[in-house]
A and B are shown apart, each in its own frame.
Chain A
């Protein structure tokens, strides 16, 4: 399993109109410009007219400025934010089924509890664990589970929001754009 934390990547948080076909426009843009998507997560925002896409892009394939500018050219794209990994809260969800014979089962459950993961399903020979957290934490957990034998693994791709400022700021009236 590749270590996502080591890859030079950009995280885009893109606010788009919540309409059919928008994902296809965004994904198509990445494909035809040769930008490599590492992960992608989409869901409606607090305002149901909009969706937020969190797209992680391989930085080597995608010049930051061109990606941003090209995304802006898409009409259903309302806002594009590039989040630096240091300035973002990132979370990802993972489901993993690991081989768990009777002699290894307790080691696995112990490992799960260290990572604050939950046991979601238990079978005779394997166990399914749910873990959530920063992508590098999931990487680490995956590495530790690998020797037991990973049967299946699925990650959601990360979602991210910008970190909040720690410095006190003067409160400003914020006007929402009339859309």
Chain B
């Protein structure tokens, strides 16, 4: 069967079971948009290419399936670089298709030409420039394979316009043949046995669960391991929800804005079982002072993560789910072998009691006076308490993101979507749209900051026109809040270029102009009714403008580059003082 390259591309996407793609057409990609009319694939027309990329990410976060975005050449390609980098940092599987000027014109500075493959090389797991239409099915197959296997990540396929118009003989490859790409998924048996051995001798263990748990669909087996061992768990920003927050062994988020117990448990641990986590600087603080007494078991599918920051005592390369399954077996065998020996698998009651004492003594605190200014933490708590348990929560980047991660109770995997590694402001609105498209039956709430919202809000036009009823809660403190917090704490309150104004823009009018329902909330008693009203609206997006107290800061906090032992608690904790 003869097809054009463009037809082959769309057909290949259909063969990859793509149901929806996010994009915006333009000159170089025009040939590919033509056969799209006849395709079963739903296309969502974004208002900015960055939105298409973040929507694909949100879709992938929520569903576990690769998100697909398609845009044209030049400025469209450069606009999608940010989502590519975001997905690269957070290991999100997305497939981006870009148009390119005709192959013969490449290198001539043609209209809307840019070196897309060159620009995106450092921010993709792999990318391809198609030079022959006959290669399209093979490349699409490879692209999806690379994006979704091993350590997932973004890929890009650049399609010159004349290649899209070229004739080819249709085929669909049986599989992929990539000699240089063979991810290891099965952990080394001896290493797993050694890990179990090390675990048996620990008295102050902590499981350090990272985003890899979610990528590997390993939440269930993680729970099995925890209940078998009694080891407490910290869940990183990328792993929130991978272990239920309402479980008594869940300590919550560690790191720069982690809670006291999560941070300090790692500092005082004698063993860290790092599962799909990468010792990010926001978790470790000053690396040399991080968890000084802890031995390390490090499980990751990417061998380059093992020893990159901290040398593990037991490194295990493999898929988290497969390795944890084997680890559970190894622990059971080890326990059986050493039953009756008190030095092996000792009771962790003392350690668990110490952790519970910290949780009691160092809770997250804030003070909402009934007639006082509206506290952002109060808004997050109210949202948490008045939405379904399985609500998908999407955050932007900054104070609101930290409050959301700290205060929400994530009891299910794939309920928290946010930008961790790259810290992309403006992520929330488009990512929420992508998540809702992927999970239409679930309620999707974005908690956003006013600064973030202004970066990508126009995608709510997309949401309105496509009838994607996401809900946005803006914690509007009229500032670039996290920057303000750093200026207050570390730059002698010299507030340089952080004021945004609460009223400019008028968020309610802006929301209404974009086809959403806009609601303003000024005082604590208005919070719950506004949330209830928003929850009842299911035919269009809703935006709530929560006017929050600009003085509120995110605590606890470990200042950048400091040891996690120097954690600063909320000043309301002054009965305990700084440790």
Contacts and interface: CB of A to CB of B under 8 A. Distances in A.
A11 B121 CA distance: 25
A91 to B, nearest CB: 27
Contacts of B125: 75
Nearest to A21: B117
Interface of B: 117-118, 121-122, 125-126, 129, 146, 177-181, 302-304, 307-308
A114 interface: no
A24 interface: yes
Interface residues of A, number: 20
Interface in A61-87: 65-66, 69-70, 72-78
A74 B180 contact: yes
B178 A75 contact: yes
Contacts of A139: none
B304 A25 contact: no
B364 to A, nearest CB: 37
Given A65-B307, A66-B308, A78 B180 contact: yes
A24 B307 contact: no
B35 to A, nearest CB: 28
A179 B304 CA distance: 25
Contacts of A75: 125-126, 146, 178, 180-181
Nearest to A67: B304
A65 B303 CA distance: 10
Contacts of A70: 304
Interface of A: 16-17, 21, 24-25, 28, 32, 65-66, 69-70, 72-78, 177, 179
A64 to B, nearest CB: 11
Nearest to A76: B180
Contact of A73 (B121, B178, B302, B307): B302
Given A17-B179, A78-B179, 17 more contacts: A16-B180, A17-B180, A21-B117, A24-B118, A24-B121, A25-B121, A28-B122, A69-B304, A70-B304, A72-B303, A72-B304, A73-B302, A73-B304, A75-B180, A76-B180, A177-B179, A179-B179
A63 to B, nearest CB: 9
A62 to B, nearest CB: 13
A129 to B, nearest CB: 38
Contacts of A66: 304, 307-308
Contacts of A69: 303-304
Interface centre among A25, A73, A179 (most CB of B within 10 A): A73
A153 to B, nearest CB: 32
Nearest to B302: A73
9 contacts: A16-B180, A17-B179, A17-B180, A69-B304, A74-B180, A75-B125, A76-B180, A77-B180, A78-B180
Nearest to A16: B180
Nearest to A78: B180
A21 B308 contact: no
A17 B178 CA distance: 10
Contacts of B179: 17, 78, 177, 179
A151 B377 CA distance: 72
A76 to B, nearest CB: 6
Nearest to A179: B179
A56 to B, nearest CB: 21
Contacts of B304: 66, 69-70, 72-73
Nearest to A177: B179
Nearest to B117: A21
Contacts of A179: 177, 179
Contacts of B122: 28, 32
Contacts of A77: 180
Closest A-B pairs by Cβ, 4 of them: A69-B304, A179-B179, A75-B126, A75-B181
Nearest to A72: B303
Contacts of B121: 24-25, 28
A154 B180 CA distance: 34
A32 B119 CA distance: 13
Contacts of A28: 121-122
A21 B146 contact: no
A28 B118 CA distance: 10
Interface centre among B177, B179, B307 (most CB of A within 10 A): B179
Contacts of A32: 122
B574 to A, nearest CB: 43
Nearest to A31: B122
Nearest to B153: A73
Nearest to B146: A75
Contacts of B178: 75
Contacts of A177: 179
B535 to A, nearest CB: 44
Contacts of B129: 21
